[in-house]
Structure 1
Amino acid sequence: MNNKMNTISSFFKAALVALSISIASIGVANEGGFPLDKAPDRLNDMSALQNGAKIFVNYCLNCHSAVSMRYNRLRDIGLTDEQIRQNLLFSGEKVGDLMKVSMAEKESKEWFGKAPPDLSVEARSRGSDWIYTYLRTFYRDDSRPTGWNNLVYKNVGMPHILWELQGERVAKFEEVAGAHGGAGEHHFAGYEQLTPGKMNQQEYDSNMADLTAFLTWMSEPGQLERKRIGVIVLLFLAVFTIFAWRLNAAYWKSIH
């Protein structure tokens, strides 16, 4: 009995150590970077996922592919083949095709310096909060080749493809004295809106939340079904545990 308790205790100690290391790693990864905003959780909102899919196809898919995703997989977020065909296919693609771009890799390297990354699993790589904040922190920067920069991804090579929706703005920075008399640092101090967009800030943020939700779903399309099955399994185990407990009590009662 003592050996068993020692084993359990060792297991929990190891789990706590692993958890501590993971939390520390996350802290180090975020240290010194632009603070990330929490992305709204809309994975279970079919209308949000559908709007995110529309934004992705109309804006992102011009340069970024998603070769791990087929158009017909969008049935999982409530779209029919006819809706996909009428609203999301513009260049002769078929419903069963992969989400590819027509732009050649050689051309993309000439225009952007390197080929835009595939976005199939970008949300799993970067995280939903990173994507949500990144999409909302572009600003005008004439020193950059594209004329745009980003607070999350400094000196990004990607232009702000959604600028017509958000409008044009510049970021304001203020110099803050460094610690212990060190060199000063430039801290973000807000935006100055240059031209209005087709959406106000609240509408734009909401649409970026929808796009983030779609990218998160696309990175693991089976996650909603997996979570649903997980809940069912947990409920079954809970009921089974009650029956097993009562059966165990009845068994030992007859022995005693």
Structure 2
Amino acid sequence: MLLAAFFTPGALADSKLLATGGATQFEGQAGGGLVPWAMISGYGDDGEWGGAAAITRVQVDDFELDVAALALGINNRVELSYARQKLRVEPLGLAIRQDVFGGKLRLVGDLVYGVLPQISAGVQYKKNRDFAVPGAVGADSDKGLDYTLSASRLWLDGVVGRNVLTSLTLRSTDANQAGLLGFGNADGSDRDWVAEGSLGVFLNRHWVVGFEYRQKPDRLAAVAEDDWMDAFVGWFPSKHVAVVAAWSDLGDIAGLESQRGWYLSLQLNR
């Protein structure tokens, strides 16, 4: 249904400003690379719809992550998304696949105008399709739910004449490595609240540079889970295309230390 809606002509519009639909983060929702933002995917406003299709590759020392994602934004109020992730663990010669189904609802505020920032609540249902490795390191489930609350603001003429984007997300999660190492742990401890943030400065209306930070819960006794961060550059040549490149530091993953490398995402907007 999501795919059919994306490619069907209809009440499509492009009322929002360039880049205010965001990029597609690796879990399929509108945002940066690592972190979801409060904005709704696409350029549709009230009475309109928009959306995005994206492919992403993350290449660090011992892992490759490929993601294909679709997102649909309706009335600049509701976002529905889907992402298929495939993580290749090069030292072990195996792959872990995960499906992520997302929903987001704009609660109050606006990204650009008015007193309040745009504030959105989100949910991500994740299903790990290859549970052998997550089970071996202590995860106790192959599925889980993340709940998010995001506040984002684009400050026009914010710093030395540049537009500045700020975003903060709070996440409730029981996921290990965003679900790629399963969910929960052997002692059945409760969910964790973690914080995620982004800062971007627009060099002009087409180019943005910035930084993202994603706190991680570190729930498994067998392997450490470090916080994630990246420095990114985004290019928005038109409302139909977005490209994001980043240098990422993902810390230790599944006992393999200091995973650093590049991130590249191509997004097409409809």
TM-score range, shorter chain: under 0.3
Q: Which protein has greater RCO, CA pairs closer than 8 Å, 6+ apart?
A: 1
Structure showing the higher strand proportion among its residues? 2
TM-score (norm 2): 0.23
